[in-house]
Amino acid sequence: MVTGRTDIAELELTELEHAVCELGVERFHARQMYRWVHRRGLERFDGMTDLSVTLRRQLETALTLTTPRIAARDQSSDGTEKFLFRLADQRTIESVFIPDTPAQTFCVSTQVGCAMRCGFCLTGQMGLVRNLTAGEIAGQVRVLARELHLQDRRFNVVLMGMGEPLHNYEATMKALRMLATPEGLALTPRRVTLSTIGMAPALERLAREPWLPNLAVSLHATTDAVRHALIPTSRKQRLADLVAACRRFPLKHRDCITFEYVLLAGVNDTEADAHRLVKLLRGLRAKVNLIPLNEAPGIPFSRPPDLHVDRFARILASGKIIVSVRKSRGRDIRAACGQLIVEGGPHQSPGQQAAAMVRS
């Protein structure tokens, strides 16, 4: 007999099957429930119409179903939408919908805030409030799919919202398994990208996962001194060791690792940086996604001129590196890369110290 009220939003299908069996309910009902929750985005037991009324009442007494609530929704002039989600403990997180990509894309969060303290990212200035649960991570996707009428269409998911996914490893991977379940949204690994600053032990662990998403590594520098200043939590790891771990990362045929590189004027956008990046990634199945800084109050860096961005990209291309320049989406509603922040942020910017260290 189940004691208390188990939250089925936090359960993988096998766990849900076990939970209903403990209630004396036939196992196959778990699959019906899972479809209602994850594929159709249902939030209440009484809407599960292929279950008997008696069974629905029994389930509602013994179990609960928690769903992130949309507290606000803003639309950019370019069609990008930012969603503010309120969680059960009243904390808030942000997710972004980016339309008109090769497949529609959801950018979701894995933490409330972030502990990585990247000096050019507003989320990092919040600090880490807490980790999200697997149900809260997956819940963003199922609510977005429902609200945007994409439950029966293909879409991509990028773990590039608030937080460092590998800093919340267990919940992140459980959420991905939940989203991949055929009875749910049936996401395939090719449709999911995990973005990380490259925490070595977690990266090695990720490499052994049977369900492996696309990997995007936030590099942002070509020397240890600059990277350690921009990302204080990277100081225990050398760039050479991070790239070596990436070389060992298993890749399927035609796959490659994306290296994200935020361009900061006068900091990491020089010709020398571009040539060092070519040397660093030589022989690696990689592509570089250049991200000209999305400026915002509180970020102590500047966006490079387009001429410098183009020069940087041309040097990479001439060095046989696949390169793209990310088009900023949702800047007018602060939904672009590095602009997600809630609950007022910090009293002082940790990015100020990074700026001084890098420019000294």
DSSP 142-181: HHHHHHTT-TTS-EEEEE-SSS-GGGGHHHHHHHHHHHH-
- For residue 111, the model assigns a pLDDT of 97
Query: In angstroms, rounded to a whole number, what is the distance separating the alpha carbons of residues 57 and 200?
Result: 48
pLDDT in tens, 135-162: 999 999 999 999 999 999 999 999 999 9
Please state the rounded mean pLDDT for residues 306-317: 96
pLDDT > 90? residue 166: yes
pLDDT > 70? residue 42: yes
Of residues 107, 45, 43, the one with CA closest to residue 336: 107
- For residue 1, the model assigns a pLDDT of 37
Query: In angstroms, rounded to a whole number, what is the distance separating the alpha carbons of residues 231 and 40?
Result: 39
Mean pLDDT of the chain: 89
pLDDT in tens, 3-29: 468 999 999 999 999 999 999 999 999
- For residue 339, the model assigns a pLDDT of 45
Catalytic residue numbers? 94, 337
Please state the rounded mean pLDDT for residues 329-345: 50
Please state the rounded mean pLDDT for residues 296-318: 93
Query: Contact, 79 vs 65, CB < 8 A?
Result: no
The residues with which 290 forms a beta bridge, in sequence order, are 261, 325
- For residue 356, the model assigns a pLDDT of 40
Please report the domains of the chain, with CATH numbers, ordered by start residue: 6-64 (1.10.150.530), 69-359 (3.20.20.70)
Query: Contact, 40 vs 23, CB < 8 A?
Result: no
pLDDT in tens, 251-261: 987 789 999 99
Quick check: pTM over 0.85?
Answer: yes
Question: What residue has token string 């969060």?
Answer: 109
* Token pair in block for residue 219: 């590099």
Using 50, 70 and 90 to split pLDDT, how confident is the model at 2? very low
pLDDT > 70? residue 41: yes
pLDDT in tens, 93-106: 999 999 977 779 99
